[in-house]
Chains A and B, each alone.
Chain A
Amino acid sequence: MHSRRRAIAFLVTAAAVAATGTVAALAAGTGHSSSAATPKRGGHITIARIEDSISFDKTNVFQNESIWIAEQINEPLYLAGNDGKTLRPWLATGYTASKDGKTYTFKLRPGVKFSNGKAMTSADVKFSIEDAQAQKKGWGYLDAAIKSIDAPNPSTVVFHLKFQWAPFLADIGLFANGIIPKDFAGQSRTAFYKHPIGTGPFMWDKRVVGQSVTLKRNPFYWQKGKPYLDSVTWTYVTDENTRELQLRGGQIQIDEFPPFNSITKLQNTGGVTMSLFPSTRTDYLDINESYPPLADVHVRRAISYAIDRKAIIKSVLFGHGQPANSFLPPQVPFYDASTPGLQYDIAKAKAELAKSKFKKGFKVTLLVGAGAQVDNATGQVLQASLKQIGIDVTFKTEDTSTAFQSIQTRKYQLAFSYWTMDIADPDELVTFSVDPAGGASSFYTGYNNPTVISLSHQAQRQSDPEKRAQLYSKIQKLAAQDAFQGFLYYSPYRWAYTSKLHGFLVQPLGNYHLEDAWLG
């Protein structure tokens, strides 16, 4: 659930090595703790994290560590399912759409109350979405298709769209569209988000800035009997070894993102469950077409063929990943497993380079963030592979923030980036990646294929899922052939937690719902 701004990657400091994702196959044999037994009510858990929360203003915050806590407090009308691809009714019980696909009418779930005891009504929904939409520097852009919202009666909300918009339901399911009390329950916006109120399973308790955040059970939660836990504390423990020791010592119950090299050890540690949850994280090699050799499609294909993905996965992820074949990850709707992503083949790489204007090879720089260990390790594998086909890679190291800025302003030649999805729809990533007008010059590569752009626009307005699938399949195949990025690998979300904890599940979008978690 990294945002566009954060997901783009480069913020891969040692800490950020952390956030990851994977494919379903990876989860086999690891799994999450079973919730087959009867849940027990009560208890407290502590989650130790690699980063502290910045803000709980879900409409403006782009940081996972903030978003994941906000999601325990505020809930949307629809919510992504556990597979990350489907959507399920949450604070709404259902919707009807007009034939032209421009009007959606939602029925609100009866009996839903905020943690202050007041009933949620359509006026609250209208206020919440309008407020989220108004946040131009926040997540408001995802609500751009909404023209107006009506609240004809307390249990009905009607959305009028400017145009037919296929990702609408997924957008409504975004955390930023979580429902809050109308007029911030009589507070100022700033004051409200210091102690937010919502309909979620947990409510605000206390925060020690820079140290911890604690939420307690919402007594008015609409799912009867839930949440099972009395309270949850999120602490900020920067050192990965300390987090692991705290987990083993019973001082915390969940360790967020243990490093890849400790996965096997934790899987064999008594009393600890080490889960690799399927994710939407995809890592890429960004190829900037403003550097002449990289504007040549044969050169880009040669590079993609020369990436030894298996070697990278083995050395960097300690085997916990899968080579990427598409710029879309498998956990995203309309991912096409048959996309012919160019896989490691030095002979084909040489053949492609021979077709280019740069037959004798060329020099290129690879931008890496200072101290970004994963990038440096991946870069070394890449450097060795490209050398075999005559491409001489030199590392250009910049401070991570400067490097991020260099990528955004396209002052780089090759660089690493990654993405995790925010909504259960591919449009967000597709627009960002292949549409130069999507706000990021096609993931900062300058890639511009009019056919692909046209297909992505068609997919945005196509409500028939089968036809959308065909469109996205074509987009993935064309993008893979154009090799506008080097698709590197899919990797899992890594969470270690006490074996006493049950019902803890991290969804492919990265979020988790603690109303189902309980201590055995």
Chain B
Amino acid sequence: MSLSGYVVRRLLQAVPVALGVTILVFLLIHLVPGDPARTILGNQATAPRVALLRHEWGLDRPLPVQYEKFMGRLVHGDLGSSLFYGVNAGHLVLQRLPVTLWLIGLGALFSLLLAVPLAVIAATHRDRLADHVVRVVPLVGLGFPAFWLGIMLLLVFGLNLGRLFPVGGYGEGFFGHLHSMLLPALTVALGISPILVRSLRAGLLEVLESDYVTTARSKGLSERRVLVRHALRNAAVSTVSVLGVNIGFLVGGTLIVERVYALPGVGLLMINSIFERDFPVVQAVTLVFSLLVVLVYLLTDIAHALLDPRVRFE
């Protein structure tokens, strides 16, 4: 199967998953104890107002009809109105999406920039001091919770070391965003990279002992060339999956990092909306997050197929 065929097949497979997500998000409102309309409108709402919302949202109709209505609104980009701000919930989420995408993208990039060299050092110095250091030290990043790590980074780089970075916020313009995002992305990367290092190191060790690497070495290729051209690409296959899973997890994990760094992203919107009982926004964020995870897994599979053509024929 060609790569394009594989991509189309994976895209088609993602459709039922996405539909499943919409069903779950739709049902979310019914999981809240009591009347959803009463929950949405709050304690002060009058009975006629509650009845009106029940009718508007089709809550007085059978579930399949309600779902059809929900999907009808969804395809028109209508995710309901924020109860707190009175604006379109979908618009509120989309407005904040770039911040979260910045964080996830830069965080993933940083984690690779940290993980690849460290894994290479560890694999090429197996069981020596450098290997032990690389295997142990990054675990510190994994062990500390993101909110603590974030505060420490802010204290050191935002306050004490000449105020190199802003203490929270998103900044203005591309370079402003980049400047503001460095510490949050580093916080994300420090959490993910230890897992990547271990995965990539294990993959490299396995590959470096394989026959084709021995052949490459016997042909007289330099160790650097063997590593870059032959070992890394094959060792990266499993690491891409690990990275994909972690980025998928990170989509939900941005909540804490965005809160600590006061980043106006979707994660912070989620936390605040939960506290404010802004149900339509919680629903919209859940939907966007879920679809993002589906997208990340799709991209992971495609990357996997690019690195390992055997995947396309399975």
For chain A, the bracket of interface size reads 20 to 34
B275 touches A249 (CB 8 A): no
B262 touches A239 (CB 8 A): yes
CB distance from B270 to the nearest CB of A (A): 12
We find that the number of chain B residues with CB closer than 8 angstroms to chain A is 32
Which residues of chain A are within 8 angstroms of B268 by Cβ–Cβ distance?
238
CB distance from B34 to the nearest CB of A (A): 8
Q: Give Cα A470 to B92, complex, Å.
A: 54
Could you tell me which residues of chain A, from 228 to 272, have a CB within 8 Å of some CB in chain B? Answer: 235-239, 241-242, 245-246, 248-251
Segment of A67-75, A111-119, A126-134, A401-409 engaged in the interface with chain B? A401-409
Q: Give Cα A237 to B264, complex, Å.
A: 9
- Interface readout for A53-76 with B: 1 if CB under 8 Å, 0 if not? 011000000000000000000000
Q: Tell me, yes or no, whether B174 is within 8 Å of chain A by CB.
A: no
| Most chain B beta-carbon contacts within 10 A, residue among A235, A238, A405 | A238
Q: Give Cα A210 to B275, complex, Å.
A: 13
Q: Tell me, yes or no, whether B261 is within 8 Å of chain A by CB.
A: yes
Q: Tell me, yes or no, whether B252 is within 8 Å of chain A by CB.
A: no
Q: Give Cα A248 to B269, complex, Å.
A: 25
A239 touches B260 (CB 8 A): yes
A210 touches B167 (CB 8 A): no
Partner of B169, one of A13, A210, A251, A408: A251
Which residues of chain A are within 8 angstroms of B269 by Cβ–Cβ distance?
210
Known: A242-B260, A246-B262, A401-B43. A209 touches B168 (CB 8 A): no
Q: Tell me, yes or no, whether B4 is within 8 Å of chain A by CB.
A: no
Give the nearest-CB partner of A46 in chain B.
Answer: B169
Give the nearest-CB partner of A243 in chain B.
Answer: B262
Give the nearest-CB partner of B271 in chain A.
Answer: A238
CB distance from B160 to the nearest CB of A (A): 10
Give the nearest-CB partner of B264 in chain A.
Answer: A211
Q: Give Cα A5 to B259, complex, Å.
A: 28
Q: Give Cα A405 to B34, complex, Å.
A: 13
Q: Tell me, yes or no, whether B158 is within 8 Å of chain A by CB.
A: yes
Which residues of chain A are within 8 angstroms of B85 by Cβ–Cβ distance?
54, 209-210
Which residues of chain A are within 8 angstroms of B271 by Cβ–Cβ distance?
238
Could you tell me which residues of chain B, from 47 to 97, have a CB within 8 Å of some CB in chain A? Answer: 84-87, 92, 95-96
- Interface readout for B29-48 with A: 1 if CB under 8 Å, 0 if not? 00000000000001110000
B87 touches A209 (CB 8 A): yes
Known: A52-B272, A401-B42. A248 touches B262 (CB 8 A): no
Give the nearest-CB partner of A251 in chain B.
Answer: B167
Q: Tell me, yes or no, whether A469 is within 8 Å of chain B by CB.
A: no
Could you tell me which residues of chain A, from 200 to 242, have a CB within 8 Å of some CB in chain B? Answer: 208-211, 235-239, 241-242
Give the nearest-CB partner of A405 in chain B.
Answer: B43
Which residues of chain B are within 8 angstroms of A238 by Cβ–Cβ distance?
259, 262, 268, 271-272
Which residues of chain B are within 8 angstroms of A235 by Cβ–Cβ distance?
262
Q: Tell me, yes or no, whether B277 is within 8 Å of chain A by CB.
A: yes
Which residues of chain B are within 8 angstroms of A15 by Cβ–Cβ distance?
275
Which residues of chain B are within 8 angstroms of A245 by Cβ–Cβ distance?
151, 154-155, 158-159, 167-168
Which residues of chain B are within 8 angstroms of A48 by Cβ–Cβ distance?
262
| Most chain B beta-carbon contacts within 10 A, residue among A137, A209, A405, A408 | A209
Give the nearest-CB partner of A15 in chain B.
Answer: B275
CB distance from B47 to the nearest CB of A (A): 15
Give the nearest-CB partner of B166 in chain A.
Answer: A251
A246 touches B92 (CB 8 A): no
Known: A210-B264, A249-B159. A242 touches B167 (CB 8 A): yes
Which residues of chain A are within 8 angstroms of B217 by Cβ–Cβ distance?
none
B277 touches A13 (CB 8 A): no
Q: Tell me, yes or no, whether B125 is within 8 Å of chain A by CB.
A: no
Could you tell me which residues of chain B, from 251 to 302, have a CB within 8 Å of some CB in chain A? Answer: 259-262, 264, 268-269, 271-272, 275, 277
Give the nearest-CB partner of A239 in chain B.
Answer: B259
Q: Tell me, yes or no, whether B163 is within 8 Å of chain A by CB.
A: yes
A404 touches B259 (CB 8 A): no
Q: Give Cα A84 to B208, complex, Å.
A: 77
Could you tell me which residues of chain A, from 369 to 403, have a CB within 8 Å of some CB in chain B? Answer: 401
| Most chain A beta-carbon contacts within 10 A, residue among B44, B259, B262 | B262
- Interface readout for A392-431 with B: 1 if CB under 8 Å, 0 if not? 0000000001001100100000000000000000000000
Q: Give Cα A235 to B147, complex, Å.
A: 20
- Interface readout for B144-161 with A: 1 if CB under 8 Å, 0 if not? 000100010011001100
Q: Give Cα A491 to B155, complex, Å.
A: 30
Which residues of chain B are within 8 angstroms of A241 by Cβ–Cβ distance?
151, 260
CB distance from B31 to the nearest CB of A (A): 14
B158 touches A210 (CB 8 A): no
A237 touches B262 (CB 8 A): yes
CB distance from A172 to the nearest CB of B (A): 26
A210 touches B262 (CB 8 A): no
CB distance from A338 to the nearest CB of B (A): 38
Give the nearest-CB partner of A211 in chain B.
Answer: B264
Which residues of chain A are within 8 angstroms of B92 by Cβ–Cβ distance?
209-210
A249 touches B158 (CB 8 A): yes
Q: List 28 A-B contacts (CB under 8 A).
A: A5-B44, A55-B86, A137-B44, A209-B85, A210-B85, A210-B92, A210-B95, A211-B264, A235-B262, A236-B272, A238-B268, A239-B260, A239-B262, A242-B154, A242-B261, A245-B155, A245-B158, A245-B159, A245-B167, A248-B159, A249-B166, A251-B167, A251-B169, A401-B42, A401-B43, A401-B277, A405-B43, A408-B43
Residues of A whose CB lies within 8 Å of any CB of B are 5, 13, 15, 48, 52, 54-55, 137, 208-211, 235-239, 241-242, 245-246, 248-251, 401, 404-405, 408
